[in-house]
Amino acid sequence: MKSIIIVLLFFFVGCLSIVAQENKSGKMTYQDSVNAGFKVKMPQFIGGEARLQTFIMTFLRYPEDAVKDSIQGTVLIEFMISKTGKVTNVKVLNSLSPSCDAEAVRVVSLMPDWIPAEYKGENIPVIFKIPILFRFKR
């Protein structure tokens, strides 16, 4: 059976939920959000990125119909790391095929709790986006 390669890009791919303080008008501006992003301790998969890649490679299965139809490409997944570190709100942003999409969602949903993000000493929810690459090894 053909194997898959998975590529996870976390640098500049993860993005923050709204965490900045409100300005004097009571509304958050884009700059407030950007400034808050520099002060946030981002969530971490226990064991780091290498362990996360290992987790995904261990549990991800190339769907049989995608192998049969030679479907290759990337599924972009978005999910939230909650204040408690739980993976929630998993969804597909860029689809590849129904079966590859479902498999990517299934595997991300299996992730154990993360170390949550912090802002000013408090845990905060953070939204992450990760590409999951379905490719045949040559």
Residue 1 lies in a domain: no
Is 108 inside any structural domain?
A: yes
The strand pairing partners of 79, in sequence order, are 128
Is residue 118 in some structural domain? Answer: yes
pLDDT at 34: 52
Tell me if 12 is assigned to some domain: no
Q: Is 6 part of a structural domain of the chain?
A: no
CATH of residue 63's domain is 3.30.1150
pLDDT value for 37:
53
Task: Report which residue type is found at 120.
Answer: K
The number of angstroms, rounded, from the C-alpha of 12 to the middle of its chain's C-alpha atoms is 12
The confidence score (pLDDT) of residue 134 equals: 94
Residue range of the domain that includes 121 = 28-134
Query: Total structural domains in the chain?
Result: 1
DSSP characters over 14-38: -EE-S-SPP-TTS---HHHHHHHHT
Q: For residue 15, tell me if it sits in a domain.
A: no
Q: Is residue 68 part of a domain?
A: yes
pLDDT of residue 136: 85
**Residues 115-133: tens digit of each pLDDT:** 999 988 899 999 989 999 9
The angle, 0 to 180 degrees and rounded to 10, between the axes of the packed helices 48-59 and 98-109 is 130
In a structure prediction context, what are the per-residue pLDDT tens digits for the chain, which is 138 residues long? 333 333 333 322 333 333 333 344 455 455 555 555 567 889 999 999 999 999 999 999 999 999 999 999 999 999 999 999 999 999 999 999 999 999 999 999 999 999 999 988 899 999 989 999 999 876
Q: Is residue 51 part of a domain?
A: yes
Q: What is the pLDDT of residue 93?
A: 96
Give the other-Cβ count within 10 Å of 95's Cβ: 13
Contact indicator for 129, 93 with CB cutoff of 8 Å = yes
